[in-house]
Structures are given as C-alpha cells and as structure tokens.
C-alpha cells in the first residue's frame, strides 16, 4: 500500500517524505513545482537511499490525478499542496481559493471515486486568528483574518462535511504553528522564492550575507521584550507528527484535529539571539513598525496530540537554528543553482527521465 503525498517537493512535504520512507512506507509524490524544485525530491532519495515515483501534476488537473490512482494502489493521502503566502492571498484571493479549496475538492473527488478515504491535511494555526487565550487548545474559536487562512478554515469545514456524509472517511486536520529548521544532513530545507516573508528564512539570509538587515516588526507588544512571540517547531518533529497522524487515520476513523507545536513561545529578539549563537554570525536588525495583521502572541496547547498520537516535539530552539543555518550556508541559493545545472542535464537526457503519457518521472 502506498501513501500519496501532494506537495511533496515543498518544505514540509520533502521532510515528511524522508520520515515516511524511514518508517518503511511506500510513497508517490505529486507536485506542480510552483513553489519547489524536483531537486528536493532527488535529495530525499539521496538521504534515504530509497526511490519513489514523482509526478509533475497540478491538483486542478483531475484527469492527471486520476491516472496516478489507476497506476498505484494508494491507501492514504497526505495533502500538503497549497499556496501559503498571506500577503499574496490578500492581493490574489481568487487564485488562493481556486488552488487551495478547489484543488482539495478535486483531490477528495478523485479519492472518493477510487475508494481511498484516509486523508491527512495541512491546516494552520492561522485558523485561530488572534487567540483569546494562550496556549491555544484545538476547540478555540476559529476567526482567521486573511484569505489564505480562510482557505484553510473552509477546507477544514469541507473535510468535516465529507466525513459526516460518509463515515468511512478518516481525516486528520493538522494545525501547524511555525515550522523552521531543516534536515540534519543540510541537504533539504526551506527555500523561499524571492525575499522571505517569514522570520527564520529572513534571519538566515541576513546571516549568510544575502540580505542586509532584519526589520523587527514592532517592539511595543505586551510580551517579555515587546516583540512578537511564536511557537517555532522543528520541521523534522512536525514531519514525525505526520507519520503519527497517518497511523491514527489508518487505525481509527473520524475527523481528528491536532495542534502541532511545541507549546513554548519565543520572541523575535530571542530568535535573533538563538540564531546568532547557532551560526556565529551577527544578525543586524532595526526595529520598525508593526506588520499589519500580526498578532502579539501565539503558542499551542499540545496535550491533545500527545494524548491521542503519543507525539510531542523533541527538538529545541538551538537545534532548530543550527539545522536551519547548516542548510542555509551549504545552499545559499536554496535549490536554485543546482536545479539550473540539473535542468541542463535533464534537457540533454530528457528521454531517459520522462515517460509519456503519464508524465512519470523517476529520478535516481
């Protein structure tokens, strides 16, 4: 039995592929590479010494998706594929609703048609909006504040309705807090296109000399040092959480909702300090005004995931920063430069890699 990973070439997807392969699962990856590179999957194979099929298919391409279900005996799906930039979702809401919401509906329709009803879905702590209390338990009021967050909220609701209509489905809705860090090998990590929006990739690029200085968005919040506090979680811990969630949906039907965080918040200034310690580099920063839409404090109540999945995050903030730094200095351009070299060799040997008509691509 095989697990289909949508968005498997992305940041969290690629790390989860490693953990699934290490746990003995067979996987198949679908990704349109709109925010990732095939090189990430090549490196997953290098890290694990295991091979798998990958398909450059868009979720909106229903026929393409169906062909994968016909070709492979899929038992479960982990669904990462989605657009995730909050600011972009404000300027391009229709694109976000189409890609994220309609993409998920198409995926579920294809799953239903092929009698595959186990699904693990990437939701986000963004569904909580500005929380009334911290730590945030799963049964908090949901009041997300931007189109990206609303796609996650809508998909969560759609998935509940799918289960209510047919209790043969088994669904986990995983609400991630702030994933950072990278695989210990330094071979895979977060590779944002353009200037990063998120704190850790921004700090990493200042440390490696690609960006001049960080803007700290506000130091007048009611927090220990006035800067925003978040629950940063190591991407490998998060990925292991997916393996546990998959075991849960495969063994107990229902709609299961879990926070995946550490339960501990760090301020922006604490993160700068931790990264300086891990990297030995000074992080230049200036304090600027608050970023619109930011909340002061956000961290998870992690008890439910521990009680029901037996999972908790193990890696601390120093390890997160050390691993992020190793990835960053070894790959200052992310996957980009290697991908360009690789593309050239792919073009030369295209017949070896591409098998029409299913667009199957197996990289060694």
The catalytic residues are 148
Nearest CB to ligand NAD, comparing residues 64 and 296: 64
User: Which residues, including other chains, have CB under 8 Å from residue 245's CB and lie 6 or more apart?
Assistant: 120, 172, 174, 256, 258, 309
Instruction: Tell the smallest beta-carbon distance from residue 268 to ligand WQD (Å).
Output: 5
Does 136 engage in binding with ligand WQD (CB under 6 A)? no
Residue 215 binding: pick among ligand WQD, ligand NAD, none (C-beta 5-8 Å cut-off by kind): ligand WQD
Q: 242 to 271, contacts with ligand WQD by CB under 6 A? A: 268
Q: Which of 25, 52, 80, 97 binds ligand NAD (CB under 6 A)?
A: 80
Question: Taking CB under 6 A as the rule, does residue 105 contact ligand NAD?
Answer: no
Q: Of ligand NAD, ligand WQD, none, which one sits near residue 103, judging by CB under 5 to 8 A according to partner kind? A: ligand NAD
Q: CA 268, CA 321: separation in Å to the nearest integer?
A: 13
Whether the Cβ atoms of residue 319 and residue 155 lie closer than 8 Å to each other: no
Q: Cα separations (Å) of 239 from 17, 138, 291, 312? A: 8, 19, 29, 11
Cis peptide preceding 105, ω within 30 of 0: no
Say whether residue 64 binds ligand NAD (CB under 6 A): no
Say whether residue 124 binds ligand NAD (CB under 6 A): yes
- With CB under 5 to 8 Å by kind, the binding choice for 170 among ligand NAD, ligand WQD, none is none
Indicate which single residue of 58, 138, 276, 308 sits in contact with ligand NAD (rule: CB under 6 A): 58
Parallel, antiparallel, or unpaired: how do β-strands 2-6 and 26-30 relate? Answer: parallel
Q: 158 is written with which tokens?
A: 């759609």
What angle separates helix 62-71 from helix 103-113, to the nearest 10 degrees?
Answer: 40
Q: How many CA atoms lie within 13 A of 33 on its CB side?
A: 12
Closest residue to bound ligand NAD by CB: 10
Q: Are 168 and 259 in contact (CB under 8 A)?
A: no
Residue 228 binding target from ligand WQD, ligand NAD, none, CB below 5 to 8 Å by type: ligand WQD
Nearest to 302 by CA among 236, 241, 239, 235: 241
Stretch that binds ligand NAD, among 6-14, 136-144, 214-222, 299-307 (CB under 6 A): 6-14
| 221 alpha-carbon distance from chain centroid | 28
Please name the helix (run of DSSP H) or strand (run of DSSP E) that holds residue 41, with its range, or none: helix 38-48
Binding mask 193-222 for ligand WQD (x = CB under 6 A): ----xxx--x-----------xxxx-----
Q: What token pair was written down for 146?
A: 């931007």
Binding site for ligand NAD (CB under 6 A): 7, 9-13, 31-36, 58-60, 80-84, 99, 103, 122, 124, 176, 178-179
Binding site for ligand WQD (CB under 6 A): 84, 86, 124, 126, 178, 197-199, 202, 214-217, 228, 230, 268, 291, 294
């Amino acid at each position: 039995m095989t697990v289909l990973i949508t968005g498997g070439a992305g940041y969290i997807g690629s790390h989860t592929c490693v953990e699934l392969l290490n746990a003995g699962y067979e996987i198949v990856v679908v990704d349109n590479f709109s925010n990732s590179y095939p090189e990430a999957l090549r490196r997953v194979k290098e890290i694990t010494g295991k091979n798998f099929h990958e398909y450059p298919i868009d979720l909106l391409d229903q026929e393409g998706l169906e062909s994968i279900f016909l070709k492979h005996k899929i038992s479960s799906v982990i669904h990462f594929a989605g657009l995730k930039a909050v600011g972009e979702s404000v300027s391009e809401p229709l694109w976000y609703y189409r890609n994220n919401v309609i993409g998920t509906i198409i995926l579920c329709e294809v799953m239903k048609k092929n009698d595959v009803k186990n699904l693990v879905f990437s939701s986000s702590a963004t569904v909580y909006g500005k929380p009334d209390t911290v730590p945030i338990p799963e049964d908090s009021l949901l009041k997300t504040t931007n189109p990206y967050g609303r796609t996650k909220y809508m998909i969560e609701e759609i998935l509940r309705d799918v289960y209510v209509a047919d209790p043969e489905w088994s669904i986990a809705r995983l609400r991630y807090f702030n994933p950072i860090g990278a695989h210990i090998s330094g071979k895979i990590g977060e590779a944002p296109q353009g200037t990063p929006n998120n704190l850790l990739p921004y700090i990493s690029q200042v440390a490696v000399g690609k960006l001049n200085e960080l803007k700290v968005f506000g130091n007048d919040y009611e927090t220990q040092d006035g800067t925003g506090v978040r629950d940063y979680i190591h991407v490998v811990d998060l990925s292991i959480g997916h393996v546990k969630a998959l075991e849960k949906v495969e063994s107990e039907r229902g709609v299961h909702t879990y926070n995946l965080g550490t339960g501990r918040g760090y301020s922006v200034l604490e993160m700068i300090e931790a990264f300086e310690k891990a990297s030995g580099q000074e992080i230049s920063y200036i304090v600027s005004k608050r970023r619109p839409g930011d909340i002061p404090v956000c961290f998870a109540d992690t008890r439910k995931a521990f009680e029901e999945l037996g999972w908790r995050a193990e890696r601390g903030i120093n390890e997160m920063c050390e691993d992020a730094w190793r990835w960053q200095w070894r790959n200052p351009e992310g996957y980009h430069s290697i991908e360009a070299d690789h593309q050239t060799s792919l073009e030369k040997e295209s017949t070896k890699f591409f098998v029409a008509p299913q667009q199957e691509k197996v990289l060694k």
